[in-house]
Chains A and B, each alone.
Chain A
Amino acid sequence: MAVCAEVVLKPKKALRVPVYAPCIRPDDFAGLSEAEIGSLEVLKGNRKVRLAELFEVKGDAASKPEELTICLSGDFGKVRQVGFEMTSGRVVVEGDIGLLAGEHMRGGTIEIHGSAGSWLGSRMLGGTIIVHGSAGDYVGSSYRGAADGMRGGTIIIEGDVGSELGNHMRGGTIEVKGSVGLFPGIHLHDGAILIRGDCEGRPGAFMMGGKIIICGHVPSVLPGFSIIRISKSVKFGKEKIEGPFYTFVGDLTEGGGGRLHVSKERNSHLSHYESYL
């Protein structure tokens, strides 16, 4: 039996119904033959089906997950929960991926060349997610209603993301090279969010701690925030992000002590805050 370091999945035909496939992760594939991988169960709508019924499977898996790469070739926009709780190895998505990719992920890497659906990296504990396209709402957030957002790891998104980025986030870093929707860093407890583009509004609502850096335009800063200084530059991990930034503390309506840094240059309409310094 030839053991490949790579397993390739390709949809047999376009998927019309959502597929829940938490088993598409190196931890589950490791050590399995092509046929064994094909017989893993997933949920298509409310029906259990085998992977091989939906996808062409190519390649036997390496025996250790850390040596394994799973390549998803084609449109996986309907496939959810890929990389669920994965601990090591790589998942490479050539096209789009559906909701909940990397949910509760602990380690390893997911690289998405297309775009990701909502809830990307929700409840993430460790590892790395890189998206070359854009992502939906609730990136790195908690389960709905809970307060257990991302605790560790790194998410990098080259495109734009939707609303409530990093909801209830408690650690790790998220970097967005494009723009973000409403309420980035809502209920942020700890960790760091860097937004290189613009923000649609209301950053850091209810934040208790942690750091949000916005290099682009923000329509306004919420009244729960108080300006404390103008910072020349701000640290994001090891990187130094050049400013200057208006630095606010908040959200004071919740007794929070988070830091919100907003580009001075791109937000001249906020210059009136300087009078409070």
Chain B
Amino acid sequence: MAEKAPRALLIKNGIVFDPLNGIDGERMDIAVLNGRIVEDVPEKEAYVIDASGMMVMPGGVDIHAHIAGSEVNAGRLLRPEDHFKDVEPKTATARSGVGHSVPSTWTTGYRYARMGWTWVSNPSMPPLEARHTHEELDDTPIIDKATYPLLGDCWFVMEFLAAGMIEECAAYVAWMLWATKGYAVKLVNPGGLECWGFGGNVKSIDDVVPYFNITPREIIRGLAKVNHLLDLPHTIHIHTNRLGQPGNWEITVRTMDCVRDIPGTSSTGKRSIHVTHVQFSAFGGDDWASMCSMAAPIARYVNMHDHVTIDMGAVVPGDTTTMTADGPFQYGLYELTGNKWINHDVETETSSGIVPYHYRRKSLVNAVQWAIGLELALLIKDPWKGAFVTTDHPNGAPFTTYPRVIEWLMSVKAREKTLKRVNKRAIRRMVLPSIDREMTFYEIAILTRAGPAKALGLENKGHLGVGADADIAIYAIDPDRIDPGRDHRAVRRAFERAAWTIKEGRVVVKDGQVVSSPRGRTFWVHVELPDWTEEAIRSIGDAWTERYTVSFENYPIPKHYLARPYKVVRKARLEA
């Protein structure tokens, strides 16, 4: 039986979309042996899935969703009413769980798998909270995961960069990735979070951070150079300054432009920056009354440059929970809504905040936000640059709304239906009504799996070529027979309930039901460093003791702490 993880699997006659291998809706078979895609397997020895009349894609890849860690868990505690309204009972093959916007760990894994997603990047880990984050990631079944430590406001990082010690900074960042079992360098409102420690924020990328004599521009450029020196699989991953404020689109363009000249890595090529959930960073206007969409100039910049990738951070109307490391932004949101809130300072590293939020179609600002997310994806010509499908879960909406986002991207009619129901005054402040682009399944496969996998430098994910991990989604929809523009609802329904999801060659979902829950892997990056760096890192020990509540020796995650780690090895471009 499928549940017993057959060694060999054969998916016959599906219509395959595999953009990384240039396959655009071809009828073909996919063979799997021992968890990997192979050329062929003998049909007699294989578990055969008849996929005729169905669509086959690589498993979905989410480049940015908050699914684990202290912030997510604090969100769970803050919102019992969120659990109350979304309850999943136990089945013969799955555990019970709760939560709409901040679901429990097991439910998170199940819901991704049910949509055919098999990879999720947890994008915002205070390094000090790494243990908690990994404990929750280990408890999130099926999907493979990675997590990005927040390094943009780390005192040691800022000090090394301010002193021009870029190589030492690189060694420290590599040590942090090792110590926290992280995958990429995350920046949230760089410099601004440190200012928040004094009740302030930065207004431009050239404001000076108090006591550190460094600007956001210098932090962003410095960490982009570090990223290059460490030859990391992903670029720096940034949540811009002034996020969520009217008129912030200019700072977003400046942020992208400030690293234009910095080279990428052996995985990322020309790319040197990933700007995340850009919807929140593409506001025009001087205040909330004049707020409007500025997705167009951002998309134009991305179209004209090759060093940037972005993801959407789409807003879908409904109730959700906002949570970011951006303390000042979250406090502003509390002041705006009067909702219950949490704000927190993580020692020398970062801040964080949580505020429940209800996006309303009839709200001018929310309707514009909804449009911006879609505009970004529709106005960027080359989908390999983005805007990859995310909702910045749960900030713009829970990840379970991806099928809805796909529906809007594929159908003008679906967009028009929603446009009829949004705030009328918002229409003039967006460009969405004038966009007639309807994405193809091939483009959707890029935005939801191939594109983010490539941006993350995941060689064996996001495609179905020989040697790739056998993470496969099969949707009960016949792309040859359906017109997604017209039958957009059928598209949504198909993505909501994968007919089959296969993880490492094992059937995990069948007809939208979880049938088995193997443990997924957690990817982390080990950078090989020259010997001198050891002394450089150890030399911060004294300063460390003064600043942290945890000793330098106890800080790193112990060996064997992760249940199923997957080490990605890189070699630093540092002088010996």
Contact = CB atoms under 8 A, between A and B. Distances in A.
Contacts of A2: none
A143 B83 CA distance: 11
Contacts of A254: 338
B211 interface: no
A224 to B, nearest CB: 15
B81 interface: yes
Contacts of B84: 143-146
B358 to A, nearest CB: 11
Interface residues of A, number: 6
Contacts of B78: 145
Interface in B509-537: none
B80 interface: yes
Nearest to A146: B81
B102 to A, nearest CB: 12
Nearest to A255: B338
B84 to A, nearest CB: 5
Contacts of A144: 80-81, 84
Nearest to B84: A143
A142 B338 CA distance: 17
A144 B79 CA distance: 8
A145 B84 CA distance: 10
Contacts of B81: 142-146
Interface in B58-95: 78-82, 84
Interface in B149-168: none
Interface in A227-259: 254
Count chain A CB atoms within 10 A of each CB in B78, B81, B82 and give the residue with the most. Answer: B81
A143 B84 CA distance: 8
Interface in B226-245: none
A145 to B, nearest CB: 4
A152 B84 CA distance: 22
Main secondary structure on chain B at its contact with chain A? Answer: helix
A146 B338 CA distance: 13
A143 B81 CA distance: 7
Contacts of B338: 254
A145 B102 CA distance: 14
A174 to B, nearest CB: 21
A142 B82 CA distance: 13
A146 B81 CA distance: 5
Nearest to B96: A46
A146 B84 CA distance: 10
Contacts of A142: 81
Contacts of A146: 80-81, 84
Interface string A148-170: 00000000000000000000000
B461 to A, nearest CB: 37
A99 B81 CA distance: 18
A187 to B, nearest CB: 10
B77 to A, nearest CB: 9
Contacts of B80: 143-146
A143 B87 CA distance: 15
A145 B354 CA distance: 14
Contacts of A145: 78-82, 84
Nearest to B77: A145
A142 B79 CA distance: 13
A157 B82 CA distance: 31
A78 B79 CA distance: 27
A142 B78 CA distance: 15
Nearest to A148: B81
A145 B356 CA distance: 11
Interface string A132-143: 000000000011
Interface string A112-148: 0000000000000000000000000000001111100
A142 B81 CA distance: 9
Interface string A86-102: 00000000000000000
A144 B338 CA distance: 18
B458 to A, nearest CB: 38
A157 B102 CA distance: 38
Contacts of A143: 80-81, 84
Interface in B371-402: none
Interface string B270-292: 00000000000000000000000
Interface in B317-342: 338
Interface in B76-130: 78-82, 84
B91 to A, nearest CB: 15
A266 to B, nearest CB: 34
B10 to A, nearest CB: 41
A254 B339 CA distance: 11
A144 B81 CA distance: 6
B92 to A, nearest CB: 16
A244 B512 CA distance: 66
A142 B84 CA distance: 12
Most chain B CB atoms below 10 A, which of A142, A146, A254:
A146
B382 to A, nearest CB: 44
A180 B556 CA distance: 52
Which residue, A142, A143, A254, has most C-beta atoms of chain B within 10 A? A143
A173 to B, nearest CB: 24
A254 B81 CA distance: 22
Contacts of B79: 145
B505 to A, nearest CB: 35
A138 to B, nearest CB: 13
A143 B79 CA distance: 11
17 contacts: A142-B81, A143-B80, A143-B81, A143-B84, A144-B80, A144-B81, A144-B84, A145-B78, A145-B79, A145-B80, A145-B81, A145-B82, A145-B84, A146-B80, A146-B81, A146-B84, A254-B338
Complex A-B, nearest 8 residue pairs according to Cβ-Cβ distance, in ascending order: A146-B81, A145-B80, A145-B81, A144-B80, A143-B81, A143-B84, A145-B79, A144-B81
Interface of A: 142-146, 254
Interface of B: 78-82, 84, 338
Given A145-B82, A146-B80, 15 more contacts: A142-B81, A143-B80, A143-B81, A143-B84, A144-B80, A144-B81, A144-B84, A145-B78, A145-B79, A145-B80, A145-B81, A145-B84, A146-B81, A146-B84, A254-B338
